[in-house]
Amino acid sequence: MFTPETSRHFTPYTDPQSGVVSYILKNETAPLQKMVYYVSKNWSHDGRYFWIVCAFPPAGLWEGSAFTAACIDFLTDEIYYHPDIPGYGSCVDQDTGELYYHTGNLVLKKGPRPDSPVTRIGRVPPIYRTFPGNMATHLTFSADKKELCCDIHCGNEMYLTSLNIETGAFTLWLHRHGGWNHAQFNPVDNDVILFAMEFWQDYKTGIHHIIERNEAGKRTRTWSIRRGETAPTLHLPLHNEQTHEWWSANGRYIYYCDGERGVGRIDYQTGEHIMHDIPISSHAYSSADDRYLCSDKFEPDEGDPWYRGCPTSTYFYDTQTGKGVPMIHKNPALYRPDEPCVYHIDPHPRFVFDDRYVAQVTTVTGQVTVAFTPTAPLICKTQA
């Protein structure tokens, strides 16, 4: 089996500030390469397959449409390109390496090779038609892998549903008006889904709506619901800010990002709340044992506002020792404030391949692509 260290498709990069070595995927398949959204797993358990998202600028709209997909095969050291797959928002069957994805009103699956057959999993019922809208923010499996979570957006309405993979039937869990998204199954409990209140624009009036706050000024963003219940549960932040939530690997904790303070963790069972003080702006992720965190931080040049494609850095943090280290500092900007990137190229770091690597989006080679940073040296650098 090849690895990012030994594959001919990767080249090493040493961060000049931290000395951390990452392995950068060459832009052989597309001029812009990135990962599947960070809450969806995009690799196989055996370490053979890793799916990426591809784009060919200038094709694309804001937040990155016109995506296709490719699959790295670490056994054969080949990369298989799939121009027929809109790769964003997809997820991988980690036992088979097959990719589950959505397009229009369909959920489909396809194997890693380009000649793999395409199988239809389900079609959205007419009552949930998705134009204008979206089939799902990002697909996730239920714990028993019998269902997929689909937060269907149709105009100004959101239908939180689960899709039975065997029968193709959709089950409605919750209907909400407005900008609700980022729904994801609990990884160990088939009957719990996490979802979020989001910024949104009314299709009829054009009015932009923000995430609401309670009387104490806290964002009311992060919610969960149990199958069969009609009233979801709100999970407030420890302080005021809250965004980009995810489940811990054991399904017990809800993590979220507080761009002013770090990464918050809520115990789903007890409500206990802690905050990890690490450099962060928007995205982070936790290791399977909850000891380590990785994060990204926007670092626009002095005097510049934030803009999509501004300089970014990524960090690794040990919650037990309280020490952190930059992985890549800093990703150079390939765009300008007056001409920002039309694709969502934030680093979105996350642990992959049994936490042996942190995968992330990087621009250190002058193009947008994927980097793998081995975690063993990071752990050594952050020991007490």
Reply yes or no on whether the pLDDT at 297 is more than 60.
Answer: yes
The percentage of the chain sitting over the pLDDT mark of 90, rounded to a whole number, equals 91
Mean per-residue pLDDT for 84-95?
92
Mean pLDDT of 133-158: 95
Q: pLDDT: is 141 or 343 the higher one?
A: 141
The residue-averaged pLDDT of 298-310 equals 95
Q: Check pLDDT > 90 for residue 281.
A: no
User: How large a percentage of the chain has pLDDT more than 70?
Assistant: 98
pLDDT digits (tens, 9 = 90+) for 323-381: 999 999 999 999 999 999 989 999 999 999 999 999 999 999 999 999 999 999 999 99
| Bridge partner list, 54 | 33, 68
**pLDDT tens string 205-228:** 999 999 999 999 999 999 999 999
Determine which of 85-99, 124-138, 254-268, 317-331 has the lowest per-residue pLDDT on average.
Answer: 124-138
Read off the pLDDT of residues 58-80 as tens digits, 9 standing for 90 and up. 876 654 457 999 999 999 999 99
Sign of CA dihedral 307, 309, 310, 313: positive
> What pLDDT score does 130 carry?
83
Six-digit token pair at 142?
């239920």
The architecture that CATH gives domain 10-29+93-381 is: 7 Propeller (2.130)
Query: Mean per-residue pLDDT for 8-15?
Result: 98
Q: Are 245 and 263 in contact (CB under 8 A)?
A: no
Q: Encode pLDDT of 320-335 as tens digits.
A: 999 999 999 999 999 9
3-class SS string, the chain: CCCCCCCCCEEEEECCCCCCEEEEECCCCCCEEEECCCCCCCECCCCCEEEEEEECCCCCCCCCCCCEEEEEECCCCEEEEECCCCCCCCEECCCCCCEEEEECCEEEEECCCCCCCEEEEEECCHHHCCCCEECCCCCEECCCCCEEEEEEEECCEEEEEEEECCCCCEEEEEEEECCEEEEEECCCCCCEEEEEECCEECCCCCCEECCCECCCCCECCEEEEECCCCCCEECCCCCCCCEEEEECCCCCEEEEEECCCEEEEEECCCCCEEEECCCCCCCEEECCCCCEEEEEEECCCCCCCCCCCCCEEEEEEECCCCEEEEEEEEECCCCECCECCCCCCCCCCEEECCCCEEEEEECCCCCEEEEEEEHHHHHHHCCC
When pLDDT is cut at 50, 70 and 90, the band that residue 282 belongs to is confident
Whole-number Å distance between alpha carbons of 223 and 95: 30
Residue-wise burial string across 118-157, b where 16 or more C-beta atoms lie within 10 A, e elsewhere = eeebbebeeebebeebbbbbbbbbbeeeebbbbbbbbebe
Can you give the pLDDT at residue 362?
Answer: 98
Distance CA 38, CA 61 (A): 20
Contact 313, 325 (CB under 8 A): no
Decide if pLDDT at 384 tops 80.
no
Evaluate if residue 37 carries a pLDDT over 50.
yes
Give residue 88's pLDDT band: very low, low, confident or very high (50, 70, 90).
confident
pLDDT of residue 62: 54
Average pLDDT of the residues of the chain: 95
Quickly state the pLDDT bin for 231 (edges 50, 70, 90).
very high
Q: Give the tokens for residue 119.
A: 């199988």
How large is the average pLDDT for residues 165-176?
Answer: 98
Mean pLDDT of 307-324: 97
pLDDT for the residue 133: 84
Write down the pLDDT at residue 64: 46
Selection from 76, 94, 98 nearest residue 85 by Cα: 98
Nearest to 200 by CA among 133, 285, 135: 133
Q: What is the dihedral of CA 320, 323, 328, 330, to 10 degrees?
A: 130
189-207: average pLDDT:
97
What residue segments make up the domains of the chain, in order of their start? Answer: 10-29+93-381
